[in-house]
Amino acid sequence: DVKVTQSSRYLVKRTGEKVFLECVQDMDHENMFWYRQDPGLGLRLIYFSYDVKMKEKGDIPEGYSVSREKKERFSLILESASTNQTSMYLCASSLLVPSQPQHFGDGTRLSIL
């Protein structure tokens, strides 16, 4: 089975801090994605990557950046955390084929105080 592991289930940070969310997948998938999930809004794509060192903006990239130095690891960075970034963050991976499903981690619930 595909395993997507997010480094933290719960995280509490303060306004202005630089926050790193880490995601690792073990199935050699080319694509990796970061979403945020908010009630009533579904999943919104922040960034995705289809190869090492490659990244594409999603629908809501403002306030975020990403890093993909190795194929299996995709990091989401909040440069200066703000309270409106309190949310559930989900990482996913997939093969480089549009018909293949995405596989998700269990999520990180991030609170910015």
Look at residue 95 and give its three-state secondary structure.
Answer: coil
Is 51 within 8 Å of 73 (Cβ atoms)? no
Using the rule CB under 8 A, is 40 a contact of another protein? yes
Residue from 7, 11, 45, 71 touching another protein (CB under 8 A): that is: 45
**Span from 14-22, 60-68, 70-78, 86-94 in contact with another protein (CB under 8 A):** 86-94
**Residues in CB range of 91: below 8 A, 6 or more apart:** 4, 6, 21, 23, 32, 33, 34, 35, 74, 76, 104, 105
Residue from 24, 33, 36, 93 touching another protein (CB under 8 A): that is: 33
CB 49 to another protein: min, Å? 10
Residue from 8, 13, 43, 77 touching another protein (CB under 8 A): that is: 43
